[in-house]
Each structure stands twice: as structure tokens, then as C-alpha cells.
């Protein structure tokens, strides 16, 4: 198939060899699991259990709140020992509401009814099952999948794209999943296709994963699913890049992929959809790549949600040397971890322990306007100009140059010969803008309250006057009536 031309992108050292040939291993059940109530984009889940309660694996422990949200389930059977704040996987090290489960060692599933043929379900029943299973975008975006399915069905999406790009260096969990569980993925893909009524189905896989391509092609043979090799380059796994490569179309800046009739899901999401729809099993575990130069035995683990990152490192033989930096996610977009005592969440594709040599120098020097960043940017921005404006304290000028279109992929920082932390600048400015916007909203709310207060006092005053007038009128009427009556009496007497 003819692929379409892409813009920008970089070719970082892949380091995939560290873990790519290591088959998936199931992590032994940890004693305690720390399941955060917010693992998705949108509103956090509302806890449904009490401390001391016994739960089964797959039992719902947090209910979805609002339109964009997802439920959270117990990742093993055991006792709830705490509901409260626990350190979250965020560079701030701040805590987030988390449910702590002490495993009873049985790992017993909640019994559920499951359909004998999932294709006998109605499309909206599939979407509902996906929503109830707490499935979110497992490529890292963690957007609730059911919301995407419903939106796509309403928009008459024609094309379903399954993203097997996995362009982040080191990360190989999708690669392993495609090699080892291809037929399950394909079944999940077909379920999604059926749920949204798509016509064309394409699975895009980077050409640097020949084994995954071969096994997926074999599994897709005879189905309506096309498996297509796409160029190996970062950020191939950016959904909009994948759309451009496979369809030649671009998602409008102010729109969603559904607006051009395309729905994109990750391969791991498709796998989770199959588990949810066929077996009624919610999303309680995922594949995580443990890698990096400082990890003794890198590998790919199947991990219950809520397992601490340190447990993963320990299982992989600990550190061969003291890591210079621990990263959650891939090296291009992942976040730095100051402690490994944070839980794995639905969006965790990898945990890395990197050596100083792998990270490279971070000493920034002046911009030489070489425009490497302009060539690298997959969006078509001018990172050097945006950064110059942000440095000068003018975030709004950066907005007029497309700051809001920046996807923080890190290509610009990666290629910068001056080692300028461009993405850092952009995220700083985005934060500042959010602050501004919040300030504006607050100001508006205050003004609205003030206006309402004025209107209220005016109304009260007016009502008081009206009441007074009414009373006066009533009194006058009474007096008049009394006078009349008196007059009448007088007349009668006379």
C-alpha cells in the first residue's frame, strides 16, 4: 500500500534490543497494590468500597463520574486496607486518592456472565461493556475508550486505525503483545470495528518490528483487517501522524479524528477490549517494559495495576549500576521519577532506569538558529521562535505561533545542538496560559456574582417598595371602607 508523506520526526537510538527479545513474564502477585482512583483523562472515580471490605479481582472499587471518566477495579482479590492519599506517578511527588488492597493470595476473579458470541451483542452494548471495564487509551493518552467508541459511532466513522507504532525508544510491550497474542488483538480490533461500524481497518506497525508484523499479518489473514508497515521514526505513534501516514488526511486543528471519519486505538487497547467483551474482565493488568542501561535484566512484564515500580525493578534483577534517572514511560515523553515507590497505572507502558551516558549532556548554550528544531517538528511549528518569545516572558506571542498545537513530543529538544530544553519552555508557557485562563474565568465568575448581588439588592429594594405601596394601598382601602361603613351607619341611624 502507498504510504503518505510525513513531516518532521527524528530517529533516536532505539535501545529496543534491551527488551525486545524477552518474552512476556507474569509478575508474581505483590502483597499490596495501590490503585489510584484517577488513572485516566477526565473526572476521578468515586470510591465504592469501605476500608476493611473484602473484594474480588475485577470488582468495581471506583465508579465513573460524569461523561468523561472511567471506573477503577480491584486488580486482585483481598482486603481494602486504606483509602486515602498515596504518592502518585508525577514528578511533583504529590499524593493522589488511592485504594490500597492487601492481597489474599488467591487472585480470585469476580464471576461474571459473558456472551457466547460477542458479535451477537449490539454495537452500543459493546461500547457499554468497554466503558464498564474501565478501558482507557493504553498507548499513554488514557482517554476513556468508550467515549471514543460512542462518539465515533455517532460520527459514522469509516476508517478504524489500530496504532502499533510504538515509536518511543526502549519500550517493547506492544511489540511483545503483537508477537505473542496477535490473534487476541485481531479479535479485539474486529470487535471495535463492529462497535463503531467502520468499513476499513488498518493496523499500522513500524517496519523495525518485523516479527510483530509477521505474526499480526498471520493473525489477520482472511479477516477484513489490513496490517501495514509504516516507517520507523519518532513520533510515528502520534495518532495524527499515523492517520496522515495511512490516509493522507489531517485532523483539523480544532477537531477530532472522528471529524474526518477516523478512529484510532492502540493495539493494547484492542487487546483489553477483547478481554472485556468476551470474558467480562475489566482492565486490571497491563504489559510494562522494564528497561534502561541501569537495569540488570530488562524485560516485559504483565503487571497488576497498582504494583509499585520498585517491585518491577526488583523482579528484573535490580540495578546493575546506580541509575542517573528513573523515568516513567519512554525517554522522549516520559516523566522523571524521584522515587520508585509509585504505582503502575493504566497508562504506564514502561519504567526505565537510565545511565548518565544514555541521557546525554543537558548543559544549555545559546541558540544558533540552526533550525534543526524546525525540520524535526512533526507539527510544523517554529520551536526556536516560540522559545525566544517565552524566554522574553511573552507567552501570548508563542500562542500566535502555534504553541497550542505543540504535542510536547520532544523532537525539537532532542535534536537541539545547543541542548536547549525547548519542551520545558513550552510546557511552562502552557501552564502559564492555563493559569491566565483560570484567572479570567475566576474574574468572570466574580463579576457575575457581583452583578447578581446588585440585581438581588435592587430586586429586594423594589419588592420592599412594592410591598410598602401595597400595604399603603391596603391600609387606605381599609380606611376608606371603614369610613364608608361609618357613613352608612350614620345614614342608617339617621
Of 53-61, 401-409, 452-460, 475-483, the window that binds other proteins (rule: CB under 8 A) is 401-409
Give the number of other Cβ atoms within 10 Å of residue 128's Cβ: 17
Site residue total, other proteins (CB under 8 A): 69
Distance in Å, CB of 271 to other proteins, minimum: 26
From 187, 206, 275, 358, residue interacting with other proteins (rule: CB under 8 A): 358
Residue 154 vs 483, nearer CB to other proteins: 154
Distance in Å, CB of 189 to other proteins, minimum: 21
By CB under 8 A, what part of segment 116-175 binds other proteins?
Answer: 155-158, 169
From 7, 442, 464, 478, residue interacting with other proteins (rule: CB under 8 A): 7
Distance in Å, CB of 382 to other proteins, minimum: 6
**Burial of 122 from C-beta contacts in 10 A (0-12 / 13-18 / 19+):** exposed
Residue 273 vs 332, nearer CB to other proteins: 332
Q: Strand 159-164 to strand 262-266: parallel, antiparallel, or no bridges (unpaired)?
A: parallel
Q: Does 367 bind other proteins (CB under 8 A)?
A: yes
Residue 95 vs 335, nearer CB to other proteins: 335
By CB under 8 A, what part of segment 412-431 binds other proteins?
Answer: 413-415, 417-419, 421, 423-424, 427
CB burial of 314-323 (b: ≥16 within 10 Å; e: otherwise) equals: ebbeebeeeb
Cα–Cα distance, 459 to 466 (Å, whole number):
10
Residue 118 vs 410, nearer CB to other proteins: 410
Q: Does 390 bind other proteins (CB under 8 A)?
A: no
Distance in Å, CB of 53 to other proteins, minimum: 38
Half-sphere exposure of 70 (CA within 13 A, CB side): 30
From 110, 359, 399, 433, residue interacting with other proteins (rule: CB under 8 A): 359
Q: What is the DSSP annotation of 249-316?
A: ----TTS-GGGGTEEEEEHHHHHHHHHHHHH-----EEEEEEESTTBSS-EEEEEETT-BHHHHHHHT
From 375, 397, 432, 433, residue interacting with other proteins (rule: CB under 8 A): 375
Backbone angles phi, psi at 26, to 5 degrees: -90, 125
Give the number of other Cβ atoms within 10 Å of residue 253's Cβ: 10
Distance in Å, CB of 99 to other proteins, minimum: 27
The answer to whether 364 and 418 have CB atoms below 8 angstroms apart is yes
Categorise residue 380: left if φ over 0, alpha if ψ from -120 to 50, beta otherwise.
left
Q: Does 12 bind other proteins (CB under 8 A)?
A: yes
Written as nine digits, the cell of 63 is 465508579
By CB under 8 A, what part of segment 48-87 binds other proteins?
Answer: none
> Binding string to other proteins for residues 242 to 281, with x set by CB under 8 A, is what?
--x-----xxxxxx---x-x--------------------
Residue found under cell 510494562: 288
From 83, 178, 216, 354, residue interacting with other proteins (rule: CB under 8 A): 354
Residue found under cell 511549528: 381
Q: Does 43 bind other proteins (CB under 8 A)?
A: no
Of 63-71, 213-221, 295-303, 360-368, the window that binds other proteins (rule: CB under 8 A) is 360-368
From 105, 210, 380, 431, residue interacting with other proteins (rule: CB under 8 A): 380
Q: Which is nearest to 296 in space by CA: 282, 312, 308, 307?
A: 312
Secondary structure class of 384 (helix, strand, coil): helix
| CA 378 to centroid of chain Cα atoms | 21
Task: Give the helix/strand (H/E) hosting 398.
Answer: helix 395-400
Q: Is the peptide bond before 320 cis (omega within 30 degrees of 0)?
A: no
> Binding string to other proteins for residues 309 to 328, with x set by CB under 8 A, is what?
----------------x-x-
**DSSP designation for 448:** H
By CB under 8 A, what part of segment 164-223 binds other proteins?
Answer: 169, 199
Written as nine digits, the cell of 177 is 503483545
Task: Give the helix/strand (H/E) hosting 55.
Answer: strand 54-55
Report the interface residues with other proteins, using CB under 8 A.
7, 10, 12-13, 91, 155-158, 169, 199, 240, 244, 250-255, 259, 261, 325, 327, 331-336, 338, 352, 354, 358-362, 365-372, 374-375, 377-382, 384-385, 402, 405, 408, 410, 413-415, 417-419, 421, 423-424, 427
Amino acid at each position: 500500500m502507498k504510504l503518505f508523506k510525513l513531516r518532521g520526526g527524528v530517529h533516536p537510538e532505539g535501545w529496543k534490543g534491551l527488551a525486545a527479545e524477552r518474552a512476556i513474564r507474569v509478575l508474581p502477585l505483590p502483597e499490596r497494590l495501590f490503585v489510584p482512583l484517577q488513572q485516566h483523562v477526565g473526572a476521578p472515580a468515586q470510591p465504592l468500597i469501605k476500608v476493611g471490605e473484602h473484594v474480588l479481582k475485577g470488582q468495581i472499587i471506583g465508579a465513573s463520574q460524569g461523561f468523561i471518566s472511567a471506573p477503577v477495579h480491584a486488580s486482585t482479590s483481598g482486603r481494602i486496607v486504606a483509602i486515602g492519599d498515596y504518592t502518585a506517578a508525577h514528578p511533583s511527588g504529590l499524593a493522589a486518592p488511592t485504594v490500597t488492597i492487601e492481597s489474599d493470595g488467591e487472585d480470585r476473579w469476580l464471576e461474571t456472565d459473558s456472551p457466547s458470541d460477542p458479535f451477537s451483542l449490539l454495537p452500543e452494548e459493546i461500547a457499554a461493556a468497554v466503558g464498564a471495564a474501565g478501558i482507557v487509551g493504553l498507548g499513554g493518552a488514557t482517554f476513556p475508550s468508550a467515549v471514543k467508541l460512542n462518539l465515533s459511532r455517532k460520527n459514522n466513522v469509516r476508517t478504524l486505525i489500530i496504532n502499533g507504532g510504538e515509536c518511543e525508544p526502549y519500550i517493547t510491550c506492544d511489540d511483545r503483545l503483537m508477537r505473542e497474542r496477535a490473534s487476541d488483538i485481531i479479535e479485539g480490533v474486529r470487535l471495535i470495528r463492529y462497535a463503531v461500524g467502520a468499513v476499513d481497518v488498518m493496523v499500522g506497525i513500524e517496519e523495525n518490528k518485523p516479527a510483530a508484523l509477521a505474526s499480526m499479518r498471520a493473525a489477520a489473514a482472511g479477516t477484513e483487517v489490513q496490517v501495514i508497515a509504516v516507517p520507523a521514526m519518532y513520533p510515528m505513534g502520534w495518532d495524527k501522524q499515523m492517520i496522515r501516514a495511512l490516509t493522507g488526511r489531517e485532523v483539523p486543528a480544532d477537531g477530532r479524528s472522528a471529524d474526518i471519519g477516523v478512529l484510532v486505538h492502540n493495539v493494547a487497547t484492542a487487546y483489553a477490549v477483547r478481554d472485556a467483551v468476551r470474558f467480562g474482565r475489566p482492565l486490571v493488568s497491563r504489559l510494562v517494559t522494564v528497561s534502561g542501561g541501569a537495569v540488570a535484566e530488562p524485560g516485559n512484564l504483565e503487571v497488576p495495576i497498582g504494583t509499585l515500580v520498585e517491585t518491577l525493578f526488583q523482579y528484573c534483577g535490580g540495578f546493575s549500576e546506580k541509575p542517573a534517572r528513573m523515568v516513567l514511560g519512554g525517554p522522549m515523553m516520559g516523566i522523571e521519577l524521584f522515587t520508585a515507590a509509585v504505582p503502575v497505572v493504566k497508562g504506564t507502558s514502561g519504567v526505565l532506569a537510565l545511565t548518565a551516558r544514555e541521557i546525554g549532556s543537558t548543559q544549555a548554550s545559546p541558540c544558533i538558529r540552526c533550525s534543526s528544531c524546525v525540520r524535526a517538528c512533526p507539527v510544523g511549528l517554529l520551536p526556536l521562535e516560540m522559545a525566544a518569545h517565552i524566554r522574553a516572558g511573552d507567552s501570548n506571542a508563542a500562542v500566535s505561533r502555534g504553541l497550542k498545537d505543540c504535542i510536547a513530543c520532544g523532537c525539537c529538544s532532542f535534536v537541539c545542538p545547543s541542548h536547549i530544553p525547548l519542551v520545558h519552555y513550552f510546557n511552562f508557557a502552557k501552564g502559564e496560559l492555563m493559569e491566565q485562563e483560570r484567572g479570567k474565568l475566576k474574574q468572570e465568575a466574580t463579576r457575575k456574582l457581583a452583578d447578581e448581588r446588585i440585581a438581588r439588592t435592587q430586586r429586594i429594594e423594589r419588592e420592599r417598595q412594592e410591598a410598602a405601596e401595597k400595604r399603603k394601598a391596603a391600609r387606605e382601602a381599609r380606611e376608606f371602607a371603614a369610613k364608608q361603613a361609618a357613613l352608612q351607619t350614620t345614614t342608617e341611624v339617621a
